[in-house]
Amino acid sequence: MVGALVGGDLVDTLSGDGPFTVFAPTNEAFAKLPAGTLDDLMKPENKDQLVDILTYHVVPGNNKAHDFTYFQKLTTVEGKPVEVFSEGGKVQVGPSSVSLSTVGSADNLATNGVVHIIDEVLLPPSVPSKDKTIVELAESVDSLSTLVAALVGGGLVDTLSGEGPFTVFAPTNEAFAKLPAGTLDDLMKPENKDQLVDILTYHVVPGKILAGDLSSFQAVTTVESKPLHVVSWGGQVQLGPSLTDLSKVTLADNLAVNGVVHVIDGVLLPPTGLVSV
């Protein structure tokens, strides 16, 4: 956190009079971000994005844990709303009720405010990109390069660059790496294009569905026409072909001009597709 504050030139700001309430992610929280994300944010050309994320962790005023109600919306100094839930001595905070970080150590007092240590990095609600489709959004994220290559191999780039809207559950490179050895190479062969398309379209749902739109349990139909089970519980969204084979949404509500992308940690395999691992 300190290294990021230095990179974002925010040290002087948070050393000022305040008072400020800071939700401070641990080193372990930053380590949970997709591989390469933090390194990219620390690059000078991405300073604005880094500042946007860091200031989303700061609320004006001196808000101690006992000041939080069961549910409330606060406005961060970054100007976007953050939701806070407090029940039974447990405080959680995040951009929505299905994307929450837990306060592990509350009420660390400073001369100019208070720090609550949290276990996840808070990512501000996205605003629709004025110039990026779903495919272009995926192309801009290093950890989704395998998905982009698969979309090219499956001839789906034009489809997901169309009007939509679409909701895409996007597996990371690490998610694809979990498949049995050789599986992805086989899928990328021209003779297996139909099977690749079958799997990729199982990750796409018609319409724009934000994390906050999901109920505790529901089945949605993908554009591949097979059911996908979605479970939203305790601030975590999971989905898969069955309730015993679920992937986790690790980064929700990434908006594009033609829909929304939710980054996930596993490849979804249709009920009649490959055997899940």
Please tell me the predicted confidence (pLDDT) of residue 206.
94
CATH of 134-264, one of 3.30.365.10, 2.30.180.10, 3.40.190.10, 3.30.420.40: 2.30.180.10
Neighbouring C-alpha atoms within 13 Å toward the C-beta of 132: 17
Please indicate whether the domains covering 2-118 and 134-264 agree at the CATH topology level. yes
SS3 60: strand
Considering the domain delimited by 2-118, tell me its CATH architecture. Answer: Roll (2.30)
pTM of the model: 0.59
Burial pattern 157-167, b for ≥16 Cβ within 10 A else e, equals bebbbeebbbb
**Residue range 221-268, pLDDT digits in tens:** 999 889 999 998 766 789 999 888 899 988 888 889 999 999 999 999
Neighbouring C-alpha atoms within 13 Å toward the C-beta of 71: 4
The sign of the CA dihedral 148, 154, 158, 162 is negative
**Residue range 130-147, pLDDT digits in tens:** 568 999 988 888 789 999
Residue 276 has pLDDT above 60, yes or no: no
SS3 109: strand
DSSP letters, 60-75, are ES---GGG--SEEEEE
Element (H, E) at 22: strand 20-25
Please tell me the predicted confidence (pLDDT) of residue 27.
93
Domain segments of the chain: what residues?
A: 2-118, 134-264
